[in-house]
Structure 1
Amino acid sequence: MLINADFSQRVSLLPEQQQWIASPQSGVERIMLDRIGAEKARATSLVRYAPHSHFPRHYHPGGEEILVLSGTFSADDTDYPAGWYLRNPPKSGHQPYSDEGAIIFVKLRQMRADEQRHVTIDTNDKSSWQVKDNREICPLFTDSSEQVMLQRLKANEPLFTAPISGGAEILVLEGELIEEHQVYKRRSWLRLPIDVAPLIKAGEQGATVYLKINHLSAIIGAEVAGV
C-alpha cells in the first residue's frame, strides 16, 4: 500500500479530507496520512481508540512516535492524557489501550536503527517550554537527522523565515495556519519537501503546531541510492 509515498512532493490533508478507517483491531480506527507497506508499514496516522479498546502487546522494529491529541492513551499500566509526547525506540514493545477513549498522532518505523532513548514529555508542563528567537518552543527530540518540537505562534506570525533545507511535517494542534487563500484548521496535516520556503503564517488567534524538520533529506537520499 502506498499513500502519499513520494517524499519529494508536497502534500496536505485538511480535516474534511480525512477519513476514519477501521483497523484490524476492534474499536480502533485510523486516518492514513502517509504509508509505505501493508499492515506492517512505515506509516504516519491519526489513530482513534474507542473507550475500553486495546491492542495486544506488540513490538516496533522501527520505533514509534506518539503525540496524544485528546482523551487518555495508556500503555503498560501508565496513563498519558492529551498533550503527552512518547518516543519508543526500535525493538521496543508495549500493550496500548484506552479506557476513556483517545485520539493520537502516530509515526511508525521512521527512526534510526541505532536510536535507543525512550522519551516521555508532558507538553502541558510549563517547564517543558522555552523561548527561542521570541517564539515559545517545546523541544521533543533532536538528533543528527531530525528535530521534533511544538511551537506556539502569535497572530499573523510566519511559521518559517527561511527555506526548509531538510523538509518539514506539520500538524495543527490549536488555532489555524494560513497560506495565501488556504486555511489549515486544527488537525490539518502538511508535509513539505526539502528546500522550499512556504509563506505560511498563523491566523488571527495564533496557532500551536507539531513540527518535525530536516528528516526528509535522509529519506530522499535513500530513495535516490535505491536503498
Structure 2
Amino acid sequence: MDNTLHTDFTQRIVVHSQQTPWLDSPMVGVKRRPLERYGQEIARATSIVQYAAGSQFSPHCHLGGEEFYVLEGVFQDEHGDYPAGSYIRNPPHSSHTPFSTRGCRIFVKLWQIPDHDQRTVTLTPSTYPLATEHHGITEHLLYHAAYETVSLQIWPADKHISMAAPNGLELLVLSGQLHSEQDTLQQGSWLRLPCGATFTAYSQAAKTTIWLKQHHLNRVEQEIVRLRSHIS
C-alpha cells in the first residue's frame, strides 16, 4: 500500500468512499478503503475496513491508539461485541484481537489519540449520552476533551449551517445527503477541512446523519513525529 495519501493538511479533501476500490489487508478476509494515510502497515490512517464473515485480525497493540465507529454488522474482540452504531476508543498501548463472526464494516482512525489520553470509551446506540438539540440539529456527544470533540449529528431536511473550524474538522456521512460547496456528500462520503476553514453545508434528505470530529487537526504534525519515533 502507498505510504502517503491526502497528507497535505492545508487542503480541503473529499473522498466518496463508495467509489473507492477495496484493498487487501495482510489478513485474509479483511479489506480496506483508505481515506488518508501516512506510513505503511504501521500508519497514521483513516480508513473504511470490511471484515468478511468469519474473518479476524491477528493480536496487535495500538501504540498510537485506535478510534472506530461500526457502520454495519457486528465487530468483535475479546472485550465484547459491538453492533452497528457503536463508537469505540482504545487508548495508546492498548491491545486486542479483532474478528467478526457475521461480518462487519467499520470507520477507523489509527495513531490519532494523544499518549496522555488513556480513556477507554465503549458506546453502543443504547448507551449514547442523551441527545441535545441546537438549531434543529440533534446531537449525541460521543467524546469531548480540550483537544477534540466527536459527535453524531442528525440534520433535518433543508438545514443550512455555516461554522468556523479553527482547528480543523472532518465528517463521514452515515445516511442521507449534504451539499457542501461544490460537492454532494452521500452515504460514505468523507470530508476533511484544514485549520482555519469554514464549514458550510445544507441537507437535502429528510434526515441526514453524520459522524463529526472537530478541533483535532492542529496536532497532526505531533502525531506524525510520534509515529516516526516508533518506526525508526
Common fold: TM-score over 0.5:
yes
Equivalent position of 2:205 in the other structure? 204
Q: Could you tell me which residue of structure 1 aligns to residue 133 of structure 2?
A: 131
For residue 177 of structure 1, what is the aligned residue in structure 2?
Answer: 178
Aligned to 1:78: 80
Give the corresponding residue for 1:68.
Answer: 70
Shift of 1:125: 5.0
Letter in 1 for 2:196: D
Shift of residue 140 of structure 1? 1.1
- Residue 39 of structure 1 aligns with which residue? 41
SS at match of 1:217: helix
Paired positions, count: 224
Would you say 1:106 and 2:108 are equivalent positions? yes
Quote the residue 2:11 is aligned against.
9
* Counterpart AA for 2:163: A
Distance 1:195 1:29, change over 3 A: same
Q: Cα gap change, 1:117/1:125 in structure 2, threshold over 3 Å: closer, same or farther? A: closer
> Following the alignment from structure 2 to structure 1, what is the Cα–Cα distance between the partners of residues 144 and 213?
10
- 2:144 match: 142
User: Unaligned 5+ residue runs, structure 1?
Assistant: none
TM-score, normalization by structure 1 = 0.92
Match of residue 214 from structure 1: 215
**Overall identity of the aligned pairs, in %:** 38
Matched-pair contact (CA < 8 Å) for 1:129–1:136: yes
What amino acid maps onto 1:189 in structure 2?
Answer: W
RMSD (CA atoms) = 2.0
Q: Which secondary structure state, in structure 1, belongs to the residue aligned with residue 219 of structure 2?
A: helix
Structure 1 runs of 4+ aligned residues shifted over 3 Å read: 124-128, 220-223
**2:179, 2:129 → 1: CA distance?**
29
Question: How far is 1:130 from its partner?
Answer: 2.4
The answer to whether the 8 Å contact 1:169/1:190 transfers is: yes
Which sections of structure 2, spanning at least 5 residues, go unmatched? none
After superposition, the C-alpha distances for 1:161-182 in whole angstroms (9 at most, x for unaligned) are: 3221111001000101112553
**TM-score with structure 2 setting the length:** 0.90
Q: 1:202: Cα distance to partner?
A: 1.1
